[in-house]
Structures are given as structure tokens and as C-alpha cells.
Structure 1
């Protein structure tokens, strides 16, 4: 019997602008209205429970939508701190707003592909070991992107500490470290019929297929 795929037991949060390349691309606009300055605290968004798709399942894409795939790693909270980590495919409809993360673009049904296992933090070498990880994203078996966690603006320990200054992460909650963009500022696009695989050392591959949403 196959084990039941791991699924989040709490709230899943993601961090925006937490990779150096994307932060640098947005830097010229950070002084524009309404904020007129770079963010001083982590910019977070929520992936609601309706977005959770277990490992190996299919994700339906809305008709006509341009959907981006993004590899991410999430820290899973336990009773005494970080219990482990999970790979995610954090999907979103392409959009321009990052200071005010659009719910309609990020929280579409099924738009968080969840890895099948939570790997204990100790097995990854702790938070320092996570900083050395590289995450691969493949579409239909073709490598599209490598995300190096060494390129984070706030590494895992720093992001966790900064978030804990203004909110409490409870056991079962997940804090995703962020997603990186490609060199041109975009992210890989997925289409009906595609299969996306996300890989990292120490983790089983995270695989999701994509279908066309059926009109009601």
C-alpha cells in the first residue's frame, strides 16, 4: 500500500521578493507610490486550503489563463520550532502586483502542488544545510530552472526570525522561503497536458500533471 501523501495541517505562508535577482529587478520601482521605499519586513502572502493539491494529483488550469510554475521549499513548524521541510510547486496566474499580492491570482483552486513528504530538518543538515540546497524545476522532463537557496535575500533562519517578530507561527504552519524568477523576470509557464517535476537533494521528486479546467 502506498503511503498517504503529506499535506499541510496549518496555514501556508509564502515570501515575496526574497531572491536577490527578483529583488534587484524590482528595486528601481520600490520608491514609487504608494510605499515609496523598499519593504523593511518580509512581504508575505497566504496559500489558502483550497489550493492544496497532493503529490501525484492533477491540477486544473483556468481557460485562457497564463499560469506560472515556481519551485519553493517550505519550513514546517513543530511544537519546538522547525520540524522539517517540504517541496512545493507554488502556482499563480501571471500578474504585476507584488506589494499587494493578489488573492485571485494566487489562491485559485489547486494552485499549490504539495510535496509527498516532510523531510526532518536534521536529515537536511539543519537550517544551514537548507541554505546549500538547489531546487530543480522540470516540465515534461526538460529542465527549466534551478533555484539556489544560497541566493535568498533572507536565508531560512533570518526569514523565520523576522516573521516571528510580528506574527506567531504555530505547529503545522508552513513558511515557504520564496520563489525565484528567470533572468528576464518571468517564471516558467505551464499548459494543459504538461507534467511538472520539482527535485532537490534529500527529497523524493514532487510531480503534478496539468489539465484544462472543465467549464461549469
Structure 2
């Protein structure tokens, strides 16, 4: 089953989707996804991985890390499916990152790798945009690179863990204006899902709704205002959004 959060006629709602991609409202009515505003499907802490694909590390001429490079994304970065992302004015390079996201389903503290998948509620997709201009060190991505408003589209929904037989054998893809620019597979994860849950839960309690964005494969490129970017994880979801300039965004807020 797929679960989403939407705004419909001014109300924020938790909903499910049927096999025809129709949104099932709490009152039983069904509506099209074109008739709603998609919201981020979970609201917990978002943990993100740097350099978690060997091909991406090689692309950047970095040695693959020996332990996970994890940072936290601020809530202000999250936005929903079919929403906009703001490219700051006067930056040279902003790139997408197609990522599988793991959603935690129950409190996890000192979980073993063998039992880790029992704590997964499901999966979603994110596009973890980065402003490369301000990157000082890939091992320490700073706030100006990774925590800007609107630069983490996520969703559209969470699909139940039971509906994804093997999260470690999924194709990830990114299209910009219909052109395929990135393709990889979760089979190439350096640190897999059970390892990451065990690693994090060793020193902190993961809560229901917390999310782990598992990193991106090689194939990054610059995106500019006007671009439509679609990221997809096979069997999970396809997530679309549009890039706007900072000036355009600020004008729209007046």
C-alpha cells in the first residue's frame, strides 16, 4: 500500500492511493493527484548519506569511506512532489541527487543488523539538491550546501516495506527536461539499509517517521531555472519538481 500526505481544499490529510493512482480521501472520495498539493510524506528527522555509492565517490575522485558519512537535513529543506525548488542567484553549480529513502516505522534503539529490516515502515524517494559552490569538504557538507529552503523534494508517497521485496536491487534514474542524466542501482550501496539502521541506532533512538536518504550514484550535472527534474527509484515512486530562480521565487511571495 502507498501512503501520502496532501493538502486538499485547504486541509492537510493523510491518505492512501489505489492501484489506478487515485487518492483515497478519509471520507471515501477519490480524487486525482492533479487536484491536490503534495506534501512531504513523513515529518521525522531526515538523515542523509554522503559518498554512499562507490561509483559516485570515484566520480568525485574520493576514496570510498570506511564508515558512513551521515548528516542531518533541516525541515525547511523539505518540499513535496510537483513543487518548486529555488536555485539561489549567483551560484555556479547546483546538482540533483536521486536517492532511495528508508522510513522508520517504530522506535529503534541498539538494533542488530539481522533484525534491522523489522524497523522499516516503507520507502520513498528524494532529490537531495546540493549547491556545489559552497562545498568545502565532501566529508563535512555544510549548511549552505545541503540545508537551503525547498532543496529536498521528497515523496510523493511511502510504499510499504512488504511491497518492496529487495530494496538493494533497484534502479535509480534522473531526467532533466526529459533527458536521462543519471542512472545507477542500489546494489552498489556501500552501506546497505540494515547496516545504516544498526549504525545509527547504536548511539541514538530512531523514531517512527524518521528517514534515511541512502545516497546517490554517479551522473551529476548542473540544473538551472526552468528545468523540470524527475527522479525515480524503480518500484517506489517517480518524483517531479521544477527549478526557479531566487528572484522569481521572491517575486511570487509578494
Normalising by the smaller structure, the TM-score range is 0.7 to 0.9
For 2:222, the equivalent position in structure 1 comes to: 189
Q: How does 1:31-42 map to 2 (within 5 A)?
A: 40-42=66-68
For 1:33, the equivalent position in structure 2 comes to: none
Aligned length: 199
Does 1 or 2 have the higher relative contact order (CA < 8 Å, sep 6+)?
A: 1
Over 3 Å counting, the alpha-carbon distance change for 1:54 and 1:96 in structure 2 is: same
Q: CA RMSD in A?
A: 1.8
For 2:214, the equivalent position in structure 1 comes to: 177
Over 3 Å counting, the alpha-carbon distance change for 1:39 and 1:168 in structure 2 is: farther
For 1:55, the equivalent position in structure 2 comes to: 81
Cα shift readout 1:107-133 (whole Å, capped 9, x = no counterpart): 0111101121101111011xxx11000
Structure 1 unaligned spans of 5+ = 28-37
Structure 2 unaligned spans of 5+ = 1-30, 107-117
SS at match of 1:88: strand
Q: How does 1:144-163 map to 2 (within 5 A)?
A: 144-163=181-200
For 1:73, the equivalent position in structure 2 comes to: 100
Q: Aligned pair 1:142/2:179, yes or no? A: yes
Higher CA-based Rg: 2
Q: What is the CA–CA distance in structure 1 between the aligned matches of 2:148 and 2:238, rounded to whole Å?
A: 23
Q: What is the CA–CA distance in structure 2 between the aligned matches of 1:17 and 1:87, rounded to whole Å?
A: 17
Q: Aligned pair 1:93/2:134, yes or no? A: no
Over 3 Å counting, the alpha-carbon distance change for 1:64 and 1:11 in structure 2 is: same
Shift of 1:6: 4.8
Shift of 1:156: 1.5
Shift of 1:40: 4.5
